[in-house]
Structure formats: structure tokens, C-alpha cells
Amino acid sequence: MSDLHPPIDLADAAALSNLIDQVHAAANSDELRSIEQAHLGKDSTIVRARKALGSLPADQRKDAGRALNEAREQLEAAVAARGTALAEAEREVQFEAERMDLTEFVDYSPVGHAHIVTQAWEELEDVFVGMGFRVAEGPEVETDWHNFDALNIPKGHPARDGFDTIYVNYGPRDQEGRSNTVLRTHTSPVQIRTMLDQEPPIYVIAPGRVFRRDTADATHMPVFHQIEGLVIDRHISLADLAGTIEAFTTAYFGPGFSSRLRPNHFPFTEPSAEFDIQRPDGSWLELGGCGMVHPNVLRAGGVDPEEWSGFAFGFGIDRLALMKFGVDDLRDLFTNDIRFLSQF
Ligand code: PHE
């Protein structure tokens, strides 16, 4: 028995009550456990008191035994109660120590914005939707039929070479070993898909990503963006095309800007033109290509050229973004340096 917990006479009510006070005052579980061991454990007050019962005269043994049991019960109850209270308090302390503050506030709240190409893309959509166009879509991985044949560029046509096409390793090959699957080189295949998909009248624009086997430099990227326009209706003429380009020019660029068409050639339009935008200072910007949809293209799209006619146009989106924000290297748009992009 340790000096800390000298044996007591359990039959002595004052000594017992004093011991119970000690139990209630135990400062922690360790202290409580040592009191418990000293008085209730193997070599303890209680064990010795029980042994001592044997040496009592028989007539006193029974009462002394009962008193001892009562004392033990009281002591045990006190130890159990204090044990529960201490365990709870100790758990509380541990919780407090291990608590994590998840409410920490870091004053860093960067608000991003759309990429300038996306901004230009969305503005173009807004302007054309305002003019009555719907937005159409097509896949970026395209069949060479949609990208070329249906657009009046049959296999072996020299115009195919001008496109620097990226072929995808998928589908059957031609005699020269090229697959029939390409990354679309322009948004014009969406003309075909839209005609096959819906009856005229058709008034759609189709912005999207296009791909060409080009080395990146200040004015070229192997991936860039175009927006296509397609109108198919009855009695559509070149005047409607010119008027639409002109209306778009003032709506998008603002008053003081105007447009002109210059004769050009595309296999999918006849006649074809290049269209330019004149800035208020008189200078010209070449924007894109356009023309009346070729009858072969209408037929490929399942549209009867005797009944319907239409026009199409297409131009690059990236250059508009460059111009608008005064950037002079196309590559800056796609390096995605946040310090560059966050300026706009
Ligand atoms: N698809 C042509 C190009 O990429 C542009 C164009 C579209 C021309 C529609 C005429 C009509 O250059």
C-alpha cells in the first residue's frame, strides 16, 4: 500500500466518508485509479478487512461482514461516478485540443472572366441572334464527306490541298492512305449537317473550333475559331447576303463601320466573295468569305435548288478578339498566361 493512500478502518464512518470525499476530489483518472487500487484492488483495504473478518468472534462476524459490504458498495459507487465525470471532462479537453478551425477566412477571392475569344464568340452570337439567327453546332471530328465532298470539294480536288487537313487515325483509307476522318478545317460542314437536320427556311450561325496543320506564329494557330452563317429560304439573293453583312457590321462594330464584297472563289458558293470591313478612319480589314450556296451543296444537304436558295459566310473569331483588345500576336491568346489574360 502506498503512502499516498494509507489503509483506513472501513468500519469507521468518519474515515469512510473522508475516503469518499477523496474519491470525489480525485483530480484525474490516474489519481482515481490509484485510490481504487489502494482500497478496492487486490492487495487493498477491503481485501485485508475481509480477511480480518475471520478472526472476529462468530457472533460479530455477520454484522461486521454486512457493514463491510455496504462500505464497499458506497466506495465503488463513488469511484464509478467520479470515473464517469472525469472521463467526460478529459474527453472534452481532448476534443478542444484536437479541434480544427474550418472557418478560417483567407482574403483571396479572385473573380475570373471569360477568355477574350469567348467574349468575342458570345458577342457575335448575341448580334446574330438579335438579327434572327439560331445557333447550330457540329462535331470537331468530322467525316471528310461533310468537311469536303458535300461542300463540292470532291476527292482529288485541288482545294483539299489548300486546307492543310489534319487526318484522324480512324475509318477507311483512300488510295493515298488518308483516313476519311478529319479534324474539321472550317465550320462549313455545319451547313451540311443543319440542312440534313432541318427543313428550310434556315437561319443559323455556327461558331466553333477548327483545325489546320499550321505552325503557330503571330498570325497562325493550328487550332482557331470560326463562325459560319447559313441562310436558306425562298428567293434569297446576293442582295440579301450583302445587306446581312452590312447590318452585322454596324451592329457588331458600331456606327461608322461599313462593309464591301470583293469577288473571290470558294467551291461551295457561287458566286463567291471576300468581305471586308471599313473602319471609320477609312482603312479596310479583310474579314471572311461568303457567297450564294452552290446548288451541289444544297443537293448534298437534301435541299432542292429549284425551290430554295441561300447564302453562307464564314470568318475567324480570333482575329476579331486580337483587334478589339489591341493584341498583335495570336499565340498570346492561347498561351493562357493569367497575367496576360487578366488584363482584358
Ligand atoms: N469555309 C471558308 C473558309 O474557311 C469560309 C466560307 C464560309 C466561305 C462560307 C464561303 C462561305 O475559308
The answer to the question of residue 125 being in a domain is yes
The answer to the question of residue 171 being in a domain is yes
Q: Which amino acid is at 270?
A: E
Last residue of a domain, one of 98, 133, 151: 98
3-state secondary structure of 127: helix
Q: Are residues 123 and 54 in the same domain?
A: no
The answer to the question of residue 83 being in a domain is yes
The answer to the question of residue 130 being in a domain is yes
Q: Are residues 69 and 139 in the same domain?
A: no
Q: Kindly report, residue by residue over 222-250, the tens digit of the pLDDT.
A: 999 999 999 999 999 999 999 999 999 99
Q: Which domain holds residue 32?
A: 13-98
Q: Are residues 182 and 331 in the same domain?
A: yes
The answer to the question of residue 40 being in a domain is yes
**Is the model more confident about 212 or about 174?**
212
Last residue of a domain, one of 51, 67, 98: 98
Average pLDDT of the chain, as a whole number? 92
Nearest CA to ligand 1 atom 10: 290
Nearest CA to ligand 1 atom 4: 186
- The average pLDDT across 99-111 equals 78
Where residue 123 falls among pLDDT bands split at 50, 70, 90? very high
Domain count, the chain: 2
Q: Would you state the pLDDT for residue 3?
A: 65
Where residue 1 falls among pLDDT bands split at 50, 70, 90? very low
- The model carries a pTM of 0.69
Show the ligand 1 pocket: residues with CB < 6 angstroms.
Answer: 186, 188, 228, 266, 269, 288-291, 312-314
- Paired sense of beta strands 134-135 and 202-211, if any: parallel
Does the structure show a pLDDT above 70 at 47? Answer: yes
Q: Are residues 130 and 57 in the same domain?
A: no
Query: CB–CB of 209/228 below 8 Å?
Result: no
The answer to the question of residue 284 being in a domain is yes
Q: Are residues 74 and 148 in the same domain?
A: no
Q: Are residues 175 and 125 in the same domain?
A: yes
Q: Are residues 211 and 238 in the same domain?
A: yes
The answer to the question of residue 303 being in a domain is yes
Q: Are residues 141 and 225 in the same domain?
A: yes
Q: Kindly report, residue by residue over 249-276, the tens digit of the pLDDT.
A: 999 999 999 999 999 999 999 999 999 9
Q: Are residues 131 and 241 in the same domain?
A: yes
Question: Looking at ligand 1, which atom is closest to the CA of residue 314?
Answer: 7
Taking CA atoms, 103 is separated from 99, 100, 106, 109, 178, in Å, by: 12, 9, 9, 15, 59
Q: Are residues 93 and 128 in the same domain?
A: no
The residue whose CB lies within 8 Å of the most ligand 1 atoms, and thus the one to mutate among 163, 188, 293, is 188
Q: Are residues 239 and 312 in the same domain?
A: yes
What residue has cell string 468569305? 289
- The average pLDDT across 184-204 equals 98
- For residue 114, how far is its CA from the centre of ligand 1 (angstroms)? 27
The answer to the question of residue 140 being in a domain is yes
Last residue of a domain, one of 40, 63, 98: 98
Q: Kindly report, residue by residue over 16-38, the tens digit of the pLDDT.
A: 889 899 999 999 999 999 998 98
Closest CA to 227 of 284, 183, 287: 287
CATH of the domain at 202: 3.30.930.10
